[in-house]
Amino acid sequence: MQVKDSIVLVTGANRGLGRAWARLLLEAGARKVYAGARDPRGIGLPDVIPLELDITRPEQVRRAAAECADVTLLVNNAGIVRGGHVFDDEAADRARQELDTNLFGTLAMCRAFAPVLGANGGGAIVNVLSVLSWISIPGAATYAMSKAATWSMTNGVRIAVKPQGTQVLGLHVAFMDTDMTAGIDAPKATPVDVVAQAIAALEAGQEEVLADALTRDVKRGLSLERGVYLDAAG
């Protein structure tokens, strides 16, 4: 998938990684960028087309697919983290919220846009995943559950859209310097670097990006006799 002349929809494009996606895609030659946001007044990027889009609201997802019928690249970036331990009283509620957005919202977007991408020649879907698709950490156990499920969903979507020639790229990353990790003291990748890697991977026809050293170590560690997911990571 070549970014030049592509027509893109980015979810959660008002801040963090999504904003970096919207800006860098334009710089890389995308012809049109729809910037989805729950409150599109907060987008503040020139040259994008603001789009009201809460991915957990089916009517907004349906409307986006109808209004953005020229999309050739869908970037499913929107996501939430609620934090907390797996046995907290609130854990099940947090997990439901995280699954609603990270898994079911992203799945709804893939489903709504698969026919659009197919009609436009195949195109591509990027799903923003995490190193926590493969390991859990005490402070974000339910988020890790949601990203593991979203990784599995991404694999299912990849198989479903392969016959129509749609590339599906899973983007796994550890800590990035965005609002989501404010207050976490750890080495962080910059959104710009992560998006640059993902664009290069898209253009090289790849299906997975491991955007930092920790993520690459964890992926490699899955196949060790004692898989890395058996021990606490942080």
Ligand X SMILES: NC(=O)c1ccc[n+]([C@@H]2O[C@H](COP(=O)([O-])OP(=O)(O)OC[C@H]3O[C@@H](n4cnc5c(N)ncnc54)[C@H](OP(=O)(O)O)[C@@H]3O)[C@@H](O)[C@H]2O)c1
Residues that bind ligand X (CB under 6 A): 11-12, 14-18, 38-39, 53-56, 77-80, 101, 105, 128, 130, 173, 175-176, 178-181
187 vs 205, which CB is nearer to ligand X? 187
116 vs 171, which CB is nearer to ligand X? 171
**Tokens at residue 77, please?**
């970036």
121 vs 156, which CB is nearer to ligand X? 156
Q: Minimal distance in Å, beta carbon 32 to ligand X?
A: 19
Residue whose token pair is 């889009």: 53
> Residue 205 contacts by C-beta under 8 Å, 6 or more apart in sequence?
1, 167
Contact status, residue 203 vs residue 2, Cβ threshold 8 Å: yes
Residue whose token pair is 């991915």: 55
Sheet holding 73-76, edge to edge: 49-52, 32-37, 7-10, 73-76, 124-128, 167-172, 208-210
**What CA–CA distance (Å, rounded) separates 46 from 199?**
21
134 vs 175, which CB is nearer to ligand X? 175
Q: What is the DSSP letter of 212?
A: S
140 vs 161, which CB is nearer to ligand X? 140
Q: Minimal distance in Å, beta carbon 165 to ligand X?
A: 25
Q: Minimal distance in Å, beta carbon 182 to ligand X?
A: 9
Q: Where are the beta strands (DSSP E) in 21-78?
A: 32-37, 49-52, 73-76
Q: Minimal distance in Å, beta carbon 183 to ligand X?
A: 12
Contact status, residue 129 vs residue 167, Cβ threshold 8 Å: no
Q: Minimal distance in Å, beta carbon 46 to ligand X?
A: 18
